[in-house]
C-alpha cells in the first residue's frame, strides 16, 4: 500500500531539487523567478502533506535549500561487541532506537564523518573496517521529506562502554533476536540486513539495470540519438 504522505514529501523533494538546479544554472532573471516559484510550490506540498502551517514549512524547506539538487548523504555506524551484539542509540527526538549516525558534513570524508557521529552519539572511538552497504532510503522504509542515501560502515572498537551524547538518551548493545520494539523508521530492516552482511564479505547496493530503460538522449551525440 502506498504511503500517500511519504509519496507527497518525496515529490516535494524532487520539485525542490529541480528548483535548486534551475536556480543554480539560471541564465536570466525570469529563470530565477521560475525557480523561486517552484520552491514555493514544493513548500506548499510539504505543508499540505505534513499538516503544518505554510510559514513553518517554508522556513524549514526553502531556507538553505538552494544548493540541494542531489540526494542527502547520511552515514551510520555498525559496532559489534565481543558477544556479537550491535550498538544502538535511543534518539532524543523520537525516543526510538537507531544505529549511530547522521548527515555527512562538507569537509570530511564519509569515513571521518561516521567516526565523528559514533563519538558524538555514543562516546566511542574506533576504526573503519569496511563499507557494509549503500542504501537508498526510499527503498528501505525511511520516513523523511528528503531523498536520503545511507552509507553504513562496520566500525572496530577496542572499548564498548558507550554513553549517550546530547542527541541521544540511551545506548545499548542488542542481539539479532532481541532488538528493541521501538526502532526508528527504516532501521528495523537495515539492521537486519546489516546482521546478514556481517556474515560474509559482500557490500550491499540496491540493484538496477538499464537494458530496458528509456534513457535520456540530450547528452548523447546526435548519431546515438538516430540509432
pLDDT in tens, 142-158: 877 778 899 999 999 99
Grid cell, residue 107, equals 569537509
Cell of 186: 527504516
Q: Which of 36-40, 44-48, 67-71 has the lowest mean pLDDT?
A: 67-71
Reported as a single tens digit per residue, the pLDDT across 203-222 is 999 998 999 888 888 888 87
Pairing of strands 148-156, 101-103: unpaired
**In whole numbers, what is the pLDDT of the chain averaged over residues?**
88
Is the pLDDT reported for residue 124 higher than 80?
A: yes
Q: In terms of DSSP H, where are the helices of the chain?
A: 4-24, 29-50, 54-61, 110-122, 187-197, 222-226
97 neighbors 183 (Cβ within 8 angstroms): yes
Please report the DSSP string for 17-75 in residue order: HHHHHHHHT--SHHHHHHHHHHHHHHHHHHHHHHT--HHHHHHHHTTT-TT--SPEEEE
Q: 3-state DSSP call for residue 146? A: coil
What is the pTM (predicted TM-score) of this model? 0.74
Amino acid at each position: 500500500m502506498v504511503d500517500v504522505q511519504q509519496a507527497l514529501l518525496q515529490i516535494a523533494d524532487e520539485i525542490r531539487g529541480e528548483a535548486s538546479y534551475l536556480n543554480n544554472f539560471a541564465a536570466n532573471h525570469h529563470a530565477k523567478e521560475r525557480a523561486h516559484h517552484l520552491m514555493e510550490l514544493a513548500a506548499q506540498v510539504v505543508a499540505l502533506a505534513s499538516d503544518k502551517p505554510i510559514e513553518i514549512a517554508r522556513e524549514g524547506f526553502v531556507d538553505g535549500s538552494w544548493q540541494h539538487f542531489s540526494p542527502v548523504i547520511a552515514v551510520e555506524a555498525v559496532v559489534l561487541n565481543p558477544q556479537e551484539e550491535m550498538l544502538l542509540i535511543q534518539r532524543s527526538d523520537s525516543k526510538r532506537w537507531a544505529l549511530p549516525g547522521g548527515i555527512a558534513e562538507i569537509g570530511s570524508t564519509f569515513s571521518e564523518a561516521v567516526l565523528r557521529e559514533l563519538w558524538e552519539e555514543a562516546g566511542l572511538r574506533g576504526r573503519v573496517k569496511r563499507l557494509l552497504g549503500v542504501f537508498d532510503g526510499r527503498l528501505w522504509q525511511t520516513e523523511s521529506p528528503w531523498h536520503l542515501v545511507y552509507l553504513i560502515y562496520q566500525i572496530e572498537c577496542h572499548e564498548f562502554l558507550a554513553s549517550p551524547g546530547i542527541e541521544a538518551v540511551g545506548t545499548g548493545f542488542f542481539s539479532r533476536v532481541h532488538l528493541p520494539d521501538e526502532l526508528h523508521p527504516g532501521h528495523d530492516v537495515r539492521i537486519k540486513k546489516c546482521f546478514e552482511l556481517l556474515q560474509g564479505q559482500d557490500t550491499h547496493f540496491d540493484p538496477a539495470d538499464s537494458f530496458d530503460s528509456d534513457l535520456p538522449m540530450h547528452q548523447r551525440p546526435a548519431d546515438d540519438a538516430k540509432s
